[in-house]
Amino acid sequence: MRVANYYGSGDIRVESVAEPAVGADDVRIEVAACGICGTDLHEFEDGPDLTPDEDTPHPLTGVSLPVPLGHEFSGTVTEVGSDVCDVAVGDEVTANPAMVCGDCRYCAEGRHNLCESVANIGLSAASGGFAESAVVPASNVVQLPDSVPVEYGALVEPFSVGVHATRRSGMQAGDSVAVFGAGPIGISIVQAAKAAGATDVFVSEPRAKRREIAEAVGATETLDPTATDAVDEITDATNGGVDVAFEAVGIEPTFRAAIEATKRGGQITAVGISDDDVGLTPNELVVVERSINGSNGYLSGPLADREFEMVTSFLESGEFDPEPMITARISLEDLVDEGFEALLDSESEHVKILVEP
Ligand SMILES: [Zn+2]
Ligand SMILES: [Zn+2]
The CATH number covering residue 98 comes to 3.90.180.10
Which are the contacts of 221, defined by CB distance < 8 A and separation ≥ 6? 200, 201, 202, 203, 233, 237
Examine the domain organization and report whether 215 and 246 are in the same domain: yes
Residue 278: band (very low, low, confident or very high) from pLDDT cuts 50, 70, 90: very high
Examine the domain organization and report whether 119 and 11 are in the same domain: yes
Residue 254: closest CA among 230, 228, 238: 230
Examine the domain organization and report whether 284 and 328 are in the same domain: no
Examine the domain organization and report whether 230 and 198 are in the same domain: yes
What is the b/e burial string over 175-193, where b = at least 16 CB atoms within 10 angstroms of the residue's CB? bbbbbbbbbbbbbbbbbbb
**With a threshold of 0.95, does the pTM exceed it?**
yes
Residue 346: band (very low, low, confident or very high) from pLDDT cuts 50, 70, 90: confident
Residue 121: closest CA among 136, 111, 131: 136
**Domain holding 201: CATH number?**
3.40.50.720
Question: Of the bound ligands, which one is closest to the alpha carbon of residue 50?
Answer: 1
Is it the case that residue 187 has pLDDT exceeding 90?
Answer: yes
- The boundaries of the domain holding residue 125 are 2-143+322-355
CA 314 to each of CA 132, 147, 317, 354: distance values in angstroms, whole numbers, following the listed order: 28, 12, 5, 20
Examine the domain organization and report whether 180 and 131 are in the same domain: no
Question: Of the bound ligands, which one is closest to the alpha carbon of residue 109?
Answer: 2
Question: Of the bound ligands, which one is closest to the alpha carbon of residue 271?
Answer: 1
Does some domain include residue 316? no
For the chain, report the end-to-end CA distance as a whole number of angstroms. 10
Question: Of the bound ligands, which one is closest to the alpha carbon of residue 115?
Answer: 2
Q: How does strand 2-8 pair with strand 92-95?
A: unpaired
Examine the domain organization and report whether 166 and 107 are in the same domain: no
The gap from C-alpha 274 to its chain's centroid, in whole angstroms, comes to 15
Ligand 1 centroid–CA 326 distance in Å is 14
- Quickly count: other Cβ atoms within 10 Å of residue 62's Cβ: 12
pLDDT tens sequence across 10-60? 999 999 999 999 999 999 999 999 999 999 999 999 999 999 999 999 999
pLDDT tens sequence across 52-98? 999 999 999 999 999 999 999 999 999 999 999 999 999 999 999 99
Tell me how many degrees the CA angle 37-207-222 measures, rounded to the nearest 5. 105
Ligand 1 centroid–CA 18 distance in Å is 26
pLDDT tens sequence across 295-335? 999 999 888 879 999 999 999 999 999 999 999 999 999 99
DSSP code, position 322? -
Total domains in the chain come to 2
Ligand 2 centroid–CA 119 distance in Å is 10
Does some domain include residue 310? no
Residues 243 and 196: beta-carbon distance below 8 Å: no
